[in-house]
Amino acid sequence: IPAEIEGLPVTSIANNAFYGATKLEKITIPEGVETIGDNAFYNCTSLSEINLPNTLKKIQWKSFQKCISLNEIDLPESIAYIGSYAFSECAEIKKITFPKKVERIPENVCYKCLSLEEVVIENGASEIAEAAFEHCLSLSKIYIPLSVTSVDTLSVHNAFYYCPSITDVYYAGTE
């Protein structure tokens, strides 16, 4: 993705920009981009590497859903908003760290991330929403900061619904 188009800076990736681009394997998003739109990389099944800029503030709804080859996602500290289903069904992601500016871990953000083993939420988030990590079959370690005051445990599909491998939950540094 270029930093400029016809002399104008690229500041966002449009909704559906690369939707279903099944041959896309690697992408570098340039500095200056602040938003990745809804479904921007939805179902990019060969996407295995993505480099996000330090200017990125928002990852919208289903931005990376079904990127089944993506095995690592390094979220920059600048991110303040992540939409529902943003990384759902990214079957190869093993670890995800939510930066401190993300105030809410949304619904189904990592739904069916089958290889996800570890979730780190940095101090700043206050809520983990319904089904945030539903069906993360390999999830075994979760780090929850003191700032989290609400974890959905009441709905039918609570925040950690059907995560049979959870063995370690660290809340504010304690197990």
More confidently predicted of 171 and 44: 44
Q: Which of 14-28, 42-56, 141-155 has the lowest mean pLDDT?
A: 141-155
Residue-wise pLDDT for 73-132, tens only, equals 999 999 999 999 999 999 999 999 999 999 999 999 999 999 999 999 999 999 999 999
113-120 long-range Cβ contacts below 8 angstroms, 24+ apart: 113/87, 113/88, 113/89, 113/139, 114/138, 115/71, 115/91, 117/141, 117/165, 118/94, 118/142, 118/143, 119/95, 119/143, 120/95, 120/96
pLDDT of residue 53: 98
Whether pTM > 0.85 for this model: the answer is yes
Residue-wise pLDDT for 72-86, tens only, equals 999 999 999 999 999
pLDDT of residue 167: 96
Mean pLDDT for 147-165 is 91
Task: Report the percent of the chain where pLDDT is more than 90.
Answer: 94
Check pLDDT > 90 for residue 16: yes
Check pLDDT > 70 for residue 175: no
CA dihedral 118→94→34→4, nearest 10 degrees, is 160
Write down the mean pLDDT value for the chain: 96
Q: Compute the distance between CA of residue 27 and CA of residue 73 in angstroms, rounded to an integer.
A: 12
